Amino acid sequence: MEVKELTSYRTHRRRQWRHAAAPTAGCDNNRVTLQRTGRRPDDARSAARTDLFDTADVYSNGLSEEILGKAIEGRRQDVLISTKSTFRLGTGPNDVGSSRHHLIQACEASLRRLATDYIDIYHLHGFDALTPVEEVLSTLNHLVESGKVRYIACSNFSGWHLMKSLAVSDRYGWPRYVGHQVYYSLLGREYEWELMPLALDQGVGALVWSPLGWGRLTGKLRRGQPLPAGSRLHQTADKGPQVADERLYKVVDALEQVAKETGKSVPQIALNWLLQRPTISSIIIGARNEDQLRQNLAAEGWSLSAPQVAALDRASEQEPVYPYWHQWQFAERNPPPVSH
């Protein structure tokens, strides 16, 4: 869910997804809350001004889209919907990828599950190297021109994937990717090395997934203490980005210090740090219940001080790989978008 009114947009010289930077809640996680409580998104809207919901066709094999469609029934004109396709959803040879056949089929299926006749932001969930980029973008252009999709975006692309796609769009006058869903957090700052400079140059807004470092920056993990019994990391730690213990606790120590200074929670500090980074249009948050959701949404509407941001930057520094460590030595003419 995107949680800010359509004001104070971030703009670049090209059109990007210009919804104001704020926390977003992914419906893959929130589907459980909606099912158990029967609560509609409107119930939290008055306090959080929620208006963008992110989901995907593969989340719970389409169930997430179905639940979202029912939850926003009667309020479609008041909300924005982001969904994704490309990943496998079925056993057939055409049930995967970004071919014309699969994208049209997947989009129409998402529209039925969401009970709507258009999608505000349609993401490619990953890059399909087996389908020509021209076929992919001409198909997305068809979906836009037919009124089924408003804007197109991508997810988890490499720099060359995104730049080649943007160049093809420019060559043929087709819609450009205005957004890019990326992994970015205090524990994973690789986005800053290639994708952030590209986004700044080309005007592509970032929608950040897993902004709490795969659930490690919730405030429950602390130096010298065992992993809480109820933590999902018991089941998911091996499936996501790996983080050395010392690096994790160095970041957590810094977060706890800033939390004491501000009176905010550890996850609120981690989320607010992201909201102040260049190119960030939205951060996607997951919650097990409404209270947790409201706590995360409270990460916006205020700002960390420059010294606090600097302290978090220092604690979360990462050793860059080539060619970035070499490029940073020529910062006089090739400055990085954020300090390192």
Structure tokens at 41: 């998104």
- Listed in sequence order, the DSSP H helices in the chain are 27-37, 42-48, 63-71, 100-114, 133-145, 159-172, 195-202, 233-236, 245-262, 266-275, 290-297, 306-315, 324-327
pTM for the predicted model, two decimal places: 0.87
> What residues does 6 pair with on adjacent strands?
none
Predicted confidence band of residue 215 (pLDDT cuts 50, 70, 90)? confident
Residues designated as active site: 59
Domain 23-243+265-303: assigned CATH number? 3.20.20.100
Entry field: residues in the chain: 340
Strands 119-124 and 80-85 turn out to be parallel
Whether the per-residue pLDDT at 43 is higher than 60: the answer is no
Name which of 35, 25, 78, 33 is nearest 55 in CA terms: 25
**How far apart, in whole angstroms, are the C-alpha atoms of residue 119 and residue 111?**
7
Predicted confidence band of residue 15 (pLDDT cuts 50, 70, 90)? low
Note the pLDDT of residue 32: 35
**How far apart, in whole angstroms, are the C-alpha atoms of residue 9 and residue 252?**
31
Note the pLDDT of residue 240: 72
Tens digit of pLDDT for each residue in 55-76? 999 999 999 999 999 999 999 9
Mean pLDDT of 314-331: 95
Note the pLDDT of residue 287: 79
Domain boundaries in the chain?
23-243+265-303
**How far apart, in whole angstroms, are the C-alpha atoms of residue 278 and residue 204?**
11
Phi, psi of 196, deg, nearest 5: -70, -50
Structure tokens at 159: 């720099």
| Mean pLDDT estimate for the chain | 86
Tens digit of pLDDT for each residue in 224-246? 777 666 666 545 666 678 888 89
Tens digit of pLDDT for each residue in 243-285? 888 999 999 999 999 999 999 999 999 999 999 999 999 999 8
